[in-house]
Amino acid sequence: MTPPVNYLDFYTLLPYLILTVWACLLLFVDAIFIPKTSKGITALLAAVGLAGALGYSITQVGIPPASGFNRMVALDGFSTFANILLLASGLFGVALAYGYTRRMGIERGEYYTLLLFSVSGMMLMAQATDLIIVFLALELLSIPLYVLSAIARKLDSEESGVKYFLLGAFASGFVVYGTALIFGATGTTNLALIFVQAASGGASILLLTIGAALLLVGFGFKVAAVPFHMWTPDVYQGAPTSVTAFMAAGAKIAGFTALFRVFTTAFPAIAPDLTNILWVISALTMILGNVIAISQSNIKRMLAYSAIAHAGYILMAFVPYGNSAVAPTAVAAGLFYLVAYAVSNFGTWGVVIALEKAEGRGLEINDYAGLSKKYPALALAMTIFMLSLIGFPPTLGMVGKFYLFRSAIAGGFPGLAIIGVATSLISAYYYLRVVVNMYMKDGDPTVEREPWLGFTAVFTAVVTVVVSFVPQILFLLASTAVLKSY
């Protein structure tokens, strides 16, 4: 007989509950009290909710791990690290959306509510220790994103919403069927018990491997890994840019935290088979993402392929996940890189939003010509982000890549590290093309001056450079976060 649920269970879900309850209240408050002309108040209230949950999550750093609801969710260092990162991403998502939605005439209260629901789904994903919760969280984060992609109600936006929806639902079909097979192999959906069953030989290894592979397909869609990346360019291009910025960071963080936790907790026993699959996916993702990005002229599409490539880099460190000597460092390197990627990502998209005009103009890479003469600070910030995405010192991206390559080599996969370095060199070509356009060509770009946009660009640029000089602090934080979850 399992023990009944008590208040301690709710305590383990508190960061998630704060945000969900706040989002439900906001839905009513926005519909009843806030007039159509002042939806900025809704943005402010959403930011207050995110900041409150963020403040609470920060106080949770270093507390002993706990699990709740009969081991369905866990509140440990790993999930607190992910929660802080996700809530901060939500705050940046609101900051970027505030001026952009108003300028583009798509300002609606439900935008912020949906964003809060999506963040809460991502947090639940990081806390889930049962495949039922993983599935619920996956849908809770995805469904608001489908709506947000289509929220502009223009042709491009709706098209991206439908494509994202169909492929996202397709992916969750794989997750559900994979879960069914894993349940069939082990008789449980709890991650820790799956491991116990698989290790004791009481499970059908074939069924378990197929189930894990199907789960990998589903997560691969979420993090945009090749060959499950087809939706990424279209959705990133068609969705409103502020939505793209949020989903590029948030969905990737959530997908990878779930992947890390599910695979390291439940599937070490079948690691040899899965490692081969992960190797191929990681190599293909790095190569294809970087090579196709070269030929893009639209900056949103280019950044979409860059997002695909970065999924490959993070997967690279995770390939030897079954090797228990390497796995904690690999996951720590992955978490570190997710931070680095999220920071550079929000900065880059902030600059893209600043240059975007109505009707989708101002999104070609050529539109960045001459930016350094008129707006030197903005051009400098964009240069920092591009260098960080290449992995060039002194930026956070360089340190992050160093940790990823190091753990790939430590795990016995120097070949992957070589592919990683080679594709990073290829990526320099298309990232630097933006820099060349800004500094060496003549043009007359105009930029929207919005305080929150400027704040985001400056803040992320400063973090990208400053933290790269003291990366040990962040890496230590990521390492302790991981060790507690084992």
Q: Which residues bind another protein (CB under 8 A)?
A: 132, 135-136, 139, 143, 146-147, 150, 153-156, 158-163, 165-166, 169-170, 172-174, 176-177, 179-181, 183-184, 187-189, 233-234, 237-238, 295-298, 301
User: Least distance from C-beta 227 to another protein, angstroms?
Assistant: 13
Our CB check for another protein shows the closer of 301 and 484 to be: 301
CB of 302 to another protein, least distance (A): 8
Which among 115, 170, 172 is positioned nearest to 147, based on CA atoms? 115
Answer for the pair 242, 92: CB distance below 8 angstroms, yes or no: no
Nearer to another protein, 55 or 187 (CB): 187
Nearer to another protein, 8 or 132 (CB): 132
DSSP code of residue 68: E
Residues with Cβ < 8 Å from 468, sequence gap 6 or more?
A: 393, 394, 395, 396, 398, 399
CA distance 62 to 99: 37
The amino acid occupying position 269 is A
Q: Are 161 and 150 in contact (CB under 8 A)?
A: yes
Burial of residue 35, with CB atoms counted within 10 A of its CB: 0-12 exposed, 13-18 middle, 19 or more buried: exposed
Cβ proximity to another protein, 240 vs 328, nearer residue: 240
Q: Which two tokens stand for residue 14?
A: 């508190």
Q: Which is nearer to another protein, 204 or 323 (CB)?
A: 204
Shortest Å distance, C-beta 154 to another protein = 8
C-beta closer to another protein: residue 147 or 428? 147
Alpha carbons 296 and 275: distance in angstroms, whole number = 32
The count of residues in the chain is 486
Question: Shortest gap between Cβ of 240 and another protein (angstroms)?
Answer: 13
Identify which of residues 145 and 481 has a Cβ nearer to another protein in the complex: 145
End-to-end CA distance of the chain: 26
CB of 168 to another protein, least distance (A): 9
By C-beta, is 169 or 280 nearer to another protein?
169
Q: Is 128 helix (H, G, I), strand (E, B) or coil?
A: strand
Whether the CA torsion 356, 360, 365, 369 is positive or negative: it is negative
The four Cα atoms 197, 202, 203, 205 give a dihedral, to 10 degrees, of: 110
Considering the complex, what minimum distance in angstroms separates the CB of residue 296 from another protein? 5
Residue 138 main-chain phi, psi, to 5 deg: -60, -45
DSSP structure class, residue 40: H
Q: Which helix (H) or strand (E) holds 185?
A: helix 155-186
Considering the complex, state which of residue 178 and residue 328 has its C-beta at the smaller distance from another protein. 178
Shortest CB 281 distance to another protein, Å: 19
CB of 378 to another protein, least distance (A): 25
Phi, psi of 73 (to 5 degrees): -130, 155
Structure tokens at 399: 């340190």
* Minimum gap (Å) between residue 426 Cβ and another protein: 17
